[in-house]
Amino acid sequence: MLIPVKYHKRNYPAHIKPEIDEIAGHFDVPKISAPRAFSLHTEYSYGKRNMLSEILELFPVIRESQNQGVPKLWYSNEWALEFARFIKLLCNGAKPSIIEIHPPFSDYTESIDSFLNIYKKFEELVLEFFPDSKILIENRSGSIYKGGKFILSKGKELRELSESIVQMGLKLRITLDIPQLITAYGGPQAFDSNSILSFLNRQSVLQPMVDGIHFGVKKECLWKNCVTLRGFKLIF
């Protein structure tokens, strides 16, 4: 079953009525308003942040963990614990149905396992605050960050992550961002309508770990093939 999420001011066809909102929760957001169920889209480190909100004044490790203004995600155990507390304060009593997080960069992260060893500190604490929330990590490709790349961009990295999540007994699951995945392999220009379908269906091995999916592909031929992706249980 595919549960649609309201994303900013973008509209679905008239017959589709999303009952959950995506709300920005990056590091420059001073507060959030959530009148109904929501998915909290946390810092994704594409570009620079001011890092000057009143909430962030309480979290010096997060504020200091940046490279020329671009936040370094999952920089340390202390960062992970501050991040959980930041989310609690940002939500101000509201309870997110989904907390969507994003991967760190390769220049300070040795491996996916080293990331997960830091992440698990966050999971333990944030689920104390929000025991009914799902935590999903989104694959990312592209940033103005200098020095490293996102460690979770391609299919092989998603597969390695999936195996490690199971081995470590974590509750973390995946949001598969199709446009980001396509970008990691050269962008839409690297595919035709047949090869994109084959490529996406090869990712069906991730099925047990995928609880969310992002479409947003602009080219009509890619969109039509994305929605025919076989083998996924799409719950978001």
Quote the domain boundaries for residue 103.
Answer: 6-226
What pLDDT is attached to residue 106? 98
Name residue 134's beta-bridge partners.
Answer: 98
Q: Average pLDDT in the 3-10 region?
A: 72
Chain-centroid distance, C-alpha 63: 20
Q: To the nearest whole number, what is the mean pLDDT of the chain?
A: 88
In a domain, 219, yes or no: yes
Residue 225 has pLDDT above 70, yes or no: no
Q: Which pTM was predicted?
A: 0.89
For residue 174, count CB atoms less than 10 angstroms from its CB and return exposed for 0-12, middle for 13-18, buried for 19 or more: buried
What pLDDT is attached to residue 1? 57
Query: What percentage of the chain reaches a pLDDT higher than 90?
Result: 70
In a domain, 231, yes or no: no
In a domain, 232, yes or no: no
In a domain, 173, yes or no: yes
Residue 49 has pLDDT above 90, yes or no: yes
pLDDT in tens, 195-218: 888 888 888 889 899 998 887 644
What pLDDT is attached to residue 19? 81
Based on the structure, what is the number of domains in the chain? Answer: 1
In a domain, 235, yes or no: no
For residue 71, the one-letter residue type is: P
What pLDDT is attached to residue 5? 79
> What CATH number does residue 129 fall under?
3.20.20
In a domain, 213, yes or no: yes
In a domain, 236, yes or no: no
Q: Average pLDDT in the 111-119 region?
A: 98
What pLDDT is attached to residue 234? 35
In a domain, 188, yes or no: yes
Residue 114 has pLDDT above 70, yes or no: yes
pLDDT in tens, 156-190: 999 999 999 999 999 999 999 999 999 999 998 89
Question: Is 139 strand, coil or helix?
Answer: coil
Name the band, by pLDDT with cuts 50, 70 and 90, for residue 152. very high
Residue 160 CB contacts under 8 Å (≥ 6 apart), including other chains: 112
What pLDDT is attached to residue 2? 66
